[in-house]
Homo-oligomer: A and B are copies of this chain.
Amino acid sequence: MPTDSPPAAPRLQQTNLVEQVADYLTEAIIARHFAPGVRLSEVQLSRDLGVSRAPVREAARLLESRGLLISRPRKGFFVRELNGDDLADVFDLRLCYERHAFELLAVRFDEAAHAQLSQQVETMCELAKGSDDGRKIEADLRFHRLVFDMAGNRRLLKAFDDLSHELRLCMALNERTHAEPGRIAANHWPLIEALASGKAQRCREAVDYHIGVARDYVIQGLGGASGTERPMSGAGATSEEGRC
């Protein structure tokens, strides 16, 4: 059941219905038009979207593999609920990915990569002045995706892309996400400097700090009503300086 009326539910047409339905569902879930834990009725969705149940089912399978839905046999698909442990897992896995990506990129870092990443941070700083929070988040994720893209491991990039959906879900959990966007954007400069230094240890420390800040930010924003306390591996970061 939608908690809020789902956004417009535009009649989809032609082919590639699966992808269109998946996009619609992804956006609706991240925007929290479907509350966590609620069941998504196949018939209801197919009626609202004006398509049959087959594309809806396939799209739901896709979202399940991305961690946005879970399917219970004979019960249907449910919007994924994230508790404190889930948040910790997501950011711990992200730490795992980013450490590796930065390590890979550090050894092949060149002027072109430097320029590309710097350009992206400039864009983020520019966006920080505006009020479109969605674009700020996307620009932030795009910086990190650039790192994975240039790191050279396609499967690592795909893994990050998959995790990105859950990351957006995590960020949408709290309202504090959008505070101090300027400082958040500037927080990415040390990552570039660490890459430029070419030193693995320095990259690792910068990544650990950066992700740690983002993790604490989201978890604290959740109100601390999370599951078991679990220290993050690597450097802890408890300041309030950034998000991503």
Q: What 0/1 readout, one digit per residue, does chain A (87-100) give for beta carbons within 8 Å of chain B?
A: 00110110111011
- In the complex, the answer to whether B89 meets A154 with C-beta atoms within 8 Å is yes
Partner of A156, one of B92, B103, B154: B92
Residues on B with C-beta less than 8 A from A152 are 230
Binds B, one of A57-65, A124-132, A186-194, A211-219: A57-65
- Of B65, B95, B104, B107, the residue contacting A65 (CB under 8 A) is B65
Q: Judging by beta carbons under 8 Å apart, are A233 and B61 in contact?
A: no
Bitwise interface map of A from 49 to 75 toward B, beta carbon under 8 Å scored 1, else 0: 000001001100110011100000110
- Tell me if A156 and B233 are in contact (CB < 8 A): no
Chain B CB within 8 A of A16 CB: yes
Chain B residue at minimum C-beta to C-beta distance from A231: B107
Contact B61 A107 (CB under 8 A): no
Closest residue of B by beta carbon distance from A230: B152
Q: Which residues of B contact A230 (CB under 8 A)?
A: 152
- Sort chain A's interface into a size bin: 35 or more
Chain A interface SS verdict (over half): helix
A11 within 8 A of B: no
Q: How far is the CA of A104 from the CA of B92 in the complex (A)?
A: 10
Q: Which A positions have Cβ atoms within 8 angstroms of B?
A: 15-16, 54, 57-58, 61-62, 65-67, 73-74, 85-86, 89-90, 92-93, 95-97, 99-100, 103-104, 107, 152-156, 159, 163, 230, 233
Question: Can you sample 26 A-B contacts with CB below 8 Å?
Answer: A15-B73, A16-B73, A54-B54, A54-B57, A57-B58, A58-B61, A61-B62, A61-B65, A65-B65, A85-B154, A86-B155, A89-B154, A89-B156, A90-B155, A92-B100, A92-B155, A93-B155, A96-B96, A96-B97, A96-B99, A96-B100, A96-B156, A99-B100, A103-B233, A155-B163, A159-B159
